[in-house]
Amino acid sequence: MQTSPASAERRYAAQTKHGTLLESRTETLTLYSQLAGLRPFKPDEEVQLALQEFCEALVDYTASAHFQLYRFIDEGTERRKNVVDLSENIYPKIAQTTQTILDFNEKYDCEDHCNNLSELDQDMSALGELLADRILYEDQIIAALTIDRD
């Protein structure tokens, strides 16, 4: 079965979007690991800079996931029923993770003036578990999107 030029173009665009998302995800997880390596957290310059960089990457990753993966599902342009059904099941779970990520960012995106880091260790642990769940959800959608069904 031969692939149409339009189909090949859509597939390439999807692969590019998924690649962008995966790069953003990898950067975020790397920064998460670097920040976690600074335990116990003290309000010193090294921790504050690492925390700021991580928060920026975390928000970028969250936005990237929306724009690279979910936006076209929200817009109703996805035609494959299996993808739409999966997305309708998973997207509410991802939306919950997004709110928790934004709450974490709001609490800790404080550049060089984070003095109260007493809950950061607990919050990082909870965020790590949440990111693991989110990645599983995203990977399910990516897998459904990459099935060749033109």
Q: What is the pLDDT of residue 18?
A: 78
d(CA 103, CA 91): 18
75-108: per-residue pLDDT in tens? 777 788 888 888 889 988 988 999 999 999 999 9
Domains and CATH numbers, the chain: 5-146 (1.20.120.1370)
Instruction: Name every residue whose Cβ is closer than 8 Å to that of residue 28 and which is 6 or more positions away in sequence.
Output: 54, 57, 58, 60, 61, 131
Q: How confident is the model at residue 14 (pLDDT cuts 50, 70, 90)?
A: low
- Residue 81: its H or E element: helix 81-108
Res. 110: pLDDT tops 90: no
Q: What is the pTM of this model?
A: 0.84
List the structure tokens of 72.
Answer: 């076209």
In this predicted model, what pLDDT tens digit does every residue of 24-36 receive, in sequence order?
999 999 999 999 9
Cis check for the bond before 40: say yes or no (omega within 30 of 0).
yes
Give me the mean pLDDT over the 32-60 stretch: 95
Closest CA to 61 of 108, 101, 110: 101
